[in-house]
Structure 1
Amino acid sequence: MQILKQLVAFRPSKLDWIFAIKTYIAAMSALFISFSLDLLNPIWSIGTVMIIANPYAGMLSSKALYRLAGTAVGAVVAVAIMPHLINTPWLFASVIAGWVGFCLYVSLLDRTPRSYMLMLSGYTVAMIVFNAINSIDTHSIFDIALARFLEIGIAVICSAVVSAVILPVHIGPIIQQRVEGNLSSLDALFKKVFTFDLKPQDYSQEVATITREMSEIHSMAVHLWFENSDLKGMTKPIQEMLHQLAMAVTNLVAMSERLKQLQPQKNAEFDAILVQLSDDVLGFLHQNKTLEETELEALSDHFSVIFTQLRQHVGQDDLTVFNSLQMDLRHYIHNVRIVHFIWQSIQQGRKDFPENIVPLTTHYPSLHRDHGVAVRGGLAALCSTFFAVAVWILTGWKAGFMMAQMAAVCSCILTAIDNPIPALKIFFWGSVTSFCIVFVYAFAIFPNISQFWQLALVLAPAVISFTLLISRPNLMALGLVLGVVSIMSMNLQNRYAMDAVSFLDADFAMVLGVLCALVSIYFIRAMSPEQTATRILQRHYRAMQKMVYMSYGTAFRVRLRSMIDRIGVLNSKLVQSKDIKQAMQHALIETSATVDLSRLHELASSQLISPPLQQALLRLQGVCVALFQALEKHGQVTAEMQTQLFIVLQDIREALICEENSNIKQRVCMSLNNIENSIFKQMGIREHVEQVA
């Protein structure tokens, strides 16, 4: 019903029409070339054009390249294994299903566009070998594998050329717009934090939007390698800028927590100075001049004057919190200036970084990866494919190869979704609609076609209509289903022939293949948003355990960037549970205090502090690890552990009284305050500690 409402309300724009017509031109070009070369399955060419269709030239080119690479890998594997397994059907079924599942598992761990290549290399093997068995009397496995590679290659070239030559649309301007929008959102949130003009739920939503946007831009930037926009080749610099931006986000969250501690003063003059401070900071960050490398560390002396004024309104008990706020603001300004400098360099066409900016980009992207979800997805694909092949073997059904193909493909393409059942339902009903459309074409239109121009003319309404749907995110799934299934089911050949029995047999097999995938994913892979969010929170607390014993440096900041990315993924989950929502809101606040965990680790390893304080800090580290382990496994901590924490905190405070080094004493107090308010308080521990005290 929702889909029908969206279809009725759909009004294609001028850009949608341009995209649809370009896709149609590429599709007909690929089909014509395949016909001219008399390839085995020309329909794979036009089908591939529909699959990789994208309004943006860079995204289309990258997807096309990865599809071609995945097809090549799949073709080689198919040719290598089929001759040795064809006479052992059950071993054959196990190996093919295992390959599909393994490739899907690896692709789910790689959250970059190249994951498409890994997934495709899995089900390409299934498609080639199943087709080879179906036509074993007429074509060899090598012929079918070579033909598929050629047909995919033709489609890739036609799509890339048409997209790049005819009114190209680049993703570079979109990325630029989203980067500048994200930076503006950060500035707006900074202003609201310092003016207390923000409700807790609004604050969480705005931070969630920023972190989620960072994750999306990180993935989109990969496509810049494949287009000719002003940002061409700027993938790594943009991703590095996002890594540095993650540091600024943690600083902002930390400042927000410190201001919450200072807010109860309700001092109008104090609040007015904070507003002035926020205006001055934003003005300093957005000076209309080109940043130089030597200026990245510079701070305006005016800020020291403002903090001196603020200090006069802060009580003695709040000086530690105030000093933390001042330090966090200094780090925030520094990190934001680094982000602005990198963005300025990108717009000037520079890819290099000065020596005083330590890069956080790793050889392999430091993004969140969930092995558990990947295993379940791979297992679902394995079971679905094996079951379909088993039915084919046991029944000897001629169209069974089509069921096995669809089971392998469908179990792969939607497994990345937490709950793929709604999407698979769209796929199922879209397939049924496609078969009705194909029936009309096959038995009412195609028998009267004798020239290619006639074929191109009658295909125009279907191809253009389906592509128009692909251009809209809310209708993309339906458009892909209608387009790909309809075109592939037409099975266009140079010598076209189709009978009703074979047509209905093949269509029924495709429906059963979709059902195999649906059932397998439902029982093995499908998860509710609550389950997925809980798993990500467990990974969050596992990462927190490791941060306890890490010194502040490049490795620490890389891991912190990974945690921010994980929170961006976490914030995309639409959960209903209030407890999980609260835990999601607290995750970023807890992450902001990992810097203080690192500082305490450095102090605990120092020989400059007194032995009692050192021992107390070491015990605190052990208790923190135990707390995070309990949260990872059970989602809560016991009263006994909270009591242990209270005792350790008391020991640290007693040791601080005797600490002679005032600098170390101040550093410990600041970090301890931040950890208590940003970690223990979020867990509900601080209230218990205060009650015990």
Structure 2
Amino acid sequence: MLLIKPLLAFRPSKVDLIFACKTFFAGMLALYIAFRLDLLYPMWAIGTVFIIANPYSGMVSSKALYRLAGTFVGAAVAVILTPHLINTPLLFTLVLAIWTGFCLYISMLDRTPRSYAFMLAGYTCVMVACNAIFSINTYSIFDLALGRVLEISIAIICTAVVSATIFPLHIGDAIQQRVQKALSDTEHAFRQIFADSNLTTEDGKSPQSNQNVVQLLSAINRDTNDLHGLAVHLNYEKGRLKGMTKPLQEMLHQFSLQLINMVAISERVNQLRQIDPHLSPELQSLADQCIAELKQPIEIDQLRAFQFPQHLEMAFQQLSQRYPHARTALASLQMDLRHFMQNVYNVKVIWQLIQAGQRKIPEFIAPMSTRYPSLHRDHGVAVRGAMAAFVSILIGFSIWIYSGWQYGYMLAQMAAVVACILTALDDPIPLLKIFLRGTLYATIITFIYLFFILPDVKTFLQLALVLAPVIIYAVCLIPHPPLTGIGLPIAINVIMALNLQNHYQISPLPSIDAALAGLFGPIIPVLALYFIRAMSPDMTAKRLIHQHYQEMRSAIHLRFGTTYKIYLRRMVDRIGLLNTKMVASSELKYAMQDVLIESCVAIDLTRLSEVAAHPDTPALIQADIQQLIQAFDDEFSAQSKMYSPSHYHYQRLIEMLANLQQQNLQWQQPASVTAGQKQRLAMSINNLQYALTTHQPETPSATQASQATLQGGVV
């Protein structure tokens, strides 16, 4: 119940022990230097070492620098505010709560390690202000703020030096392995699409193996989303891929397009097997030729980047002649394969340049990187997290002010820190409960040290020896997510509650007071987060789906190009976040399964817009296309509100597509340009009809449309 069994079963590995010993050594070094400099709160020097501890040297350095920047800003704000507001405690509390909430809001919108600086700027201001009030008769606010910055600086320097010099572990190696795995998984998913086992069922629905392909692509998407954040740390280490953050992130942007391509390819392969089962071996042969072509040595050549292999072009021409009833679907598959191979080539070119240490991207690759990462941001969740922190600080300070509890300042500090640290989680309550258990264990350990161990400690070396067993074991737990909530509070709270000073004298009552404040302080943000911030997986999934369809509405009105690709990148990133949610609702599971497939619908609608904008397109077809796009806009709007397949516009969409298909068949102008537009129009209609009839619940209209899709494949 209290995680005793996992703790007893835990066996630290060699890597865990090396990491823990390095961290303990850095902590004691920081504590020794703080003692020698006679700083006000040496415990913050060693405590900060444990807070920024990480097995990878690059992550340690980046996290440390962002922490230093945030600490400096927070301390400066505290120095500015405290002298003017210290005599109006309620107003002071309100201002601190607003500042912390604002910083936390910005932090939650920035899904990079930079967010750490904003979060620190918020709760550091609270901590410095609390310490200033507690020591108002002893130290000035400036001395406390300066001491805080010095303590953090010492911790950062000690941690960075130890991490980079003693058995360093570089994140570049881990990123290299994960990129290679993503590339390998992509090839595996591509083979799965064309595998003979990937046959459609008799009722025309997607086969189980096709669902497995979508699940595999979703897993690849989640992995690449993680890599985008990890890439930031490459600028802070000297290992492999040093300084390759921007090129690697650009490669991941390009990589996201492959997932959309593969979904579209999977749709066409399944449709072609429904049209004619004899196409299955032919499709497998095409897949083998594509893989063989992609495995050729990479040469940076603009012509190759845009050219479809001649032998594959001829293979498609032969298939179109032998299977004229599948001509439209084959043409659509050819286009999807061409785009897929181009994107794979772009990714491999960038990856090859990265490994060669070159940061410049070839000019023929249109960059998708923006000044600020084009990733999903949830302003609603950020506001709720900021409100939870705001309320936590108001309650914590109110208890401190009206109770007259001397060490209530630590309760207020803990309320601010805990509310900020874990508010990014959808449901932080389970982890906060574990954190409270870790704090309880730390309180018990603190009592043992105070009454049975520290009375006999006379030198710094003795102090290090008696702290080593507990601290090293606690730090060993930090790299393991299920046990992080136990190890981190033990390491930090034991040090904080002991309140080690340069001229240390055991004061049990103040230490017990501080330990109790550290124990009860997190309860305030637990309740605030529970009532304000916490969301179930279903609620979070609904929000993501709503934003997905809202973005789909915007995307279908854009012209295909770099801006459109950036939109697709954000949609793919959001889908990656969505697929991490363990929802209970069957409707949400259905919606989550289809959002990646529906992204292809947006592409086909954009292609229809291009056909409508062509001067040779008849006015009647242009008007029908615009009406169809508006109908899909209405459908996406309904989907964003219902979070389930909508029937309201379904019949209308089927009828409009059938009418547009008939108009295209009557388009008889012989011009070569017109013929190309006719084929593009036919392919988009075909793709949309198949998407609607395959991924919507069965209705009579759906069945009739499905038959029309399978039988009307001739341009």
**What's the TM-score once normalised by structure 2's chain length?**
0.94
Among 610, 613, 631, the residue aligned to 1:605 = 613
Alignment match, 2:711: none
Task: Classify 1:61/1:197 alpha carbon distance in 2 versus 1 (closer, same or farther; 3 Å).
Answer: farther
> How far off is 1:688 after superposition?
4.2
Distance 2:84 2:688 in 1: 61
Does 1:624 pair with 2:627? no
Distance 1:267 1:648 in 2: 29
For residues 497-530 of structure 1, the C-alpha deviation after alignment (integer angstroms, 9 at most, x for no partner) is 3433322322222222111010000000011111
Task: Classify 1:611/1:111 alpha carbon distance in 2 versus 1 (closer, same or farther; 3 Å).
Answer: same
Task: Classify 1:286/1:227 alpha carbon distance in 2 versus 1 (closer, same or farther; 3 Å).
Answer: same
Distance 2:420 2:693 in 1: 42
Among 521, 546, 555, the residue aligned to 1:547 = 555
CA contact under 8 A between 1:676 and 1:686: conserved in structure 2? no
Alignment match, 2:16: 16
Letter in 2 for 1:634: M
Does 1:564 pair with 2:572? yes
Does 1:670 pair with 2:678? no
Q: Does the residue aligned with 1:593 lie in a helix, a strand or coil?
A: helix
Q: Which moved more, 1:180-189 or 1:602-611?
A: 602-611
Alignment match, 1:372: 380
> Which residues in structure 2 correspond to 1:172-571 (within 5 Å)?
172-198=172-198, 199-265=209-275, 267-268=277-278, 270-288=279-297, 290-316=299-325, 318-571=326-579
> How far off is 1:174 after superposition?
0.5
Distance 1:371 1:682 in 2: 31
Task: Classify 1:313/1:484 alpha carbon distance in 2 versus 1 (closer, same or farther; 3 Å).
Answer: farther
Letter in 2 for 1:609: T
> How far off is 1:240 after superposition?
0.5
CA contact under 8 A between 2:587 and 2:644: conserved in structure 1? no
CA contact under 8 A between 1:57 and 1:164: conserved in structure 2? yes
Q: Which moved more, 1:443-452 or 1:584-593?
A: 443-452
Q: Does the residue aligned with 1:551 lie in a helix, a strand or coil?
A: coil
Alignment match, 1:648: 656
Distance 2:7 2:127 in 1: 32
CA contact under 8 A between 2:639 and 2:646: conserved in structure 1? no
For residues 62-118 of structure 1, the C-alpha deviation after alignment (integer angstroms, 9 at most, x for no partner) is 000000000001001100111111111111111111111111111111100111111
Question: Structure 1, unaligned stretches of length 5 or more?
Answer: none
Distance 1:635 1:209 in 2: 22
Distance 1:686 1:589 in 2: 20
Q: Does the residue aligned with 2:614 lie in a helix, a strand or coil?
A: coil
Letter in 2 for 1:109: L
CA contact under 8 A between 1:630 and 1:637: conserved in structure 2? no
Alignment match, 1:140: 140
> How far off is 1:473 after superposition?
3.0
Alignment match, 2:206: none
Letter in 2 for 1:217: L
Task: Classify 1:588/1:637 alpha carbon distance in 2 versus 1 (closer, same or farther; 3 Å).
Answer: closer
> How far off is 1:150 after superposition?
0.3
For residues 115-174 of structure 1, the C-alpha deviation after alignment (integer angstroms, 9 at most, x for no partner) is 111111110011110111011110111111110000000000000001111111100010
> How far off is 1:443 after superposition?
2.0
Task: Classify 1:524/1:277 alpha carbon distance in 2 versus 1 (closer, same or farther; 3 Å).
Answer: same
Distance 1:686 1:56 in 2: 55
Does 1:585 pair with 2:593? yes
Task: Classify 1:257/1:5 alpha carbon distance in 2 versus 1 (closer, same or farther; 3 Å).
Answer: farther
> How far off is 1:4 after superposition?
3.4
> How far off is 1:635 after superposition?
2.6
Alignment match, 2:124: 124
Task: Classify 1:686/1:348 alpha carbon distance in 2 versus 1 (closer, same or farther; 3 Å).
Answer: farther
> How far off is 1:607 after superposition?
2.3
Q: Does the residue aligned with 1:398 lie in a helix, a strand or coil?
A: coil
Task: Classify 1:687/1:516 alpha carbon distance in 2 versus 1 (closer, same or farther; 3 Å).
Answer: farther
> How far off is 1:654 after superposition?
3.6
Task: Classify 1:250/1:196 alpha carbon distance in 2 versus 1 (closer, same or farther; 3 Å).
Answer: farther
Distance 1:673 1:663 in 2: 15
CA contact under 8 A between 2:553 and 2:637: conserved in structure 1? yes
Q: Which moved more, 1:92-101 or 1:632-641?
A: 632-641
For residues 658-686 of structure 1, the C-alpha deviation after alignment (integer angstroms, 9 at most, x for no partner) is 32332222111111222233357535498
> How far off is 1:204 after superposition?
2.6
Q: Does the residue aligned with 1:296 lie in a helix, a strand or coil?
A: helix
Alignment match, 2:94: 94
> How far off is 1:202 after superposition?
1.8
CA contact under 8 A between 1:407 and 1:513: conserved in structure 2? yes
Q: Which moved more, 1:606-615 or 1:631-640?
A: 631-640
Alignment match, 1:29: 29
Task: Classify 1:245/1:60 alpha carbon distance in 2 versus 1 (closer, same or farther; 3 Å).
Answer: same
Distance 1:639 1:280 in 2: 41
CA contact under 8 A between 2:551 and 2:571: conserved in structure 1? yes
CA contact under 8 A between 1:427 and 1:478: conserved in structure 2? yes
State the number of aligned residues: 691
CA contact under 8 A between 1:434 and 1:486: conserved in structure 2? yes
Q: Which moved more, 1:176-185 or 1:278-287?
A: 278-287
Letter in 2 for 1:6: P
For residues 567-608 of structure 1, the C-alpha deviation after alignment (integer angstroms, 9 at most, x for no partner) is 111111112222211111100001123221211122222322
Letter in 2 for 1:117: A
Does 1:573 pair with 2:586? no
Which 4+ runs in 1 deviate beyond 6 A? Answer: none
Letter in 1 for 2:91: L
RMSD (CA atoms): 1.8
> How far off is 1:304 after superposition?
2.2
Alignment match, 1:105: 105
Distance 1:209 1:471 in 2: 22
CA contact under 8 A between 1:19 and 1:471: conserved in structure 2? no
Letter in 1 for 2:228: H
Letter in 1 for 2:475: T
Task: Classify 1:686/1:128 alpha carbon distance in 2 versus 1 (closer, same or farther; 3 Å).
Answer: farther
For residues 186-208 of structure 1, the C-alpha deviation after alignment (integer angstroms, 9 at most, x for no partner) is 00000010114352442232011
Distance 1:83 1:35 in 2: 28
Q: Does the residue aligned with 2:623 lie in a helix, a strand or coil?
A: helix
Task: Classify 1:680/1:33 alpha carbon distance in 2 versus 1 (closer, same or farther; 3 Å).
Answer: farther
Distance 1:410 1:187 in 2: 43
For residues 620-657 of structure 1, the C-alpha deviation after alignment (integer angstroms, 9 at most, x for no partner) is 11111111111112235765533432443244234223
Among all aligned residue pairs of Structure 1 and Structure 2, give the percentage whose two residues are the same amino acid.
47
> How far off is 1:273 after superposition?
2.2
CA contact under 8 A between 1:273 and 1:306: conserved in structure 2? no
